[in-house]
Amino acid sequence: MRDWSHIQERYLRDALPIRLGGLAANLSRIKSFAMHDGNQAVVASLLEESKFFIEWTAGEAETSTAAELVELQVQLELWGRAWDEIWRDSAQRQQVAHTSSQWSQRVLELSGLLD
């Protein structure tokens, strides 16, 4: 079991844009790791961690950004609940990879780090 309090403490040291950048990086990792059969547990862990990142960040974000983050968090939860089934179906797994890549780009835009 991970020590989420330690991870949260470290995560919250960064400014909001950096935290959003970290979330975007996690989403990009999901895309990358989902392409290889042996990474089911790694991707499941990234899904879980990303949900926490959103929980720890959304309250400080602008309302429109927070709304998008909550939408993403719901998507991550839905994937997590069906993860074993998704992982066994290469088409579904490929869709998760594609969607997480799109979310990664969107969160990076929301972070303002691209400006």
List of domains in the chain: 16-110 (1.20.120)
Q: What does the pLDDT look like over 59-96, one tens digit per residue?
A: 999 999 999 999 999 999 999 999 999 999 999 999 99
Q: What does the pLDDT look like over 25-59, one tens digit per residue?
A: 999 999 999 999 999 999 999 999 999 999 999 99
Distance of CA 32 to the CA centre of its chain: 13
* Prediction pTM value: 0.93
Q: Where are the alpha helices (DSSP H) in 35-89?
A: 40-57, 63-81, 83-88
Can you read off the two tokens belonging to residue 93?
Answer: 């797994």
Confirm if 92 and 86 have CB atoms less than 8 A apart: yes
Q: Residue 15: is its pLDDT beyond 90? A: yes
Closest CA to 27 of 62, 75, 92, 81: 75
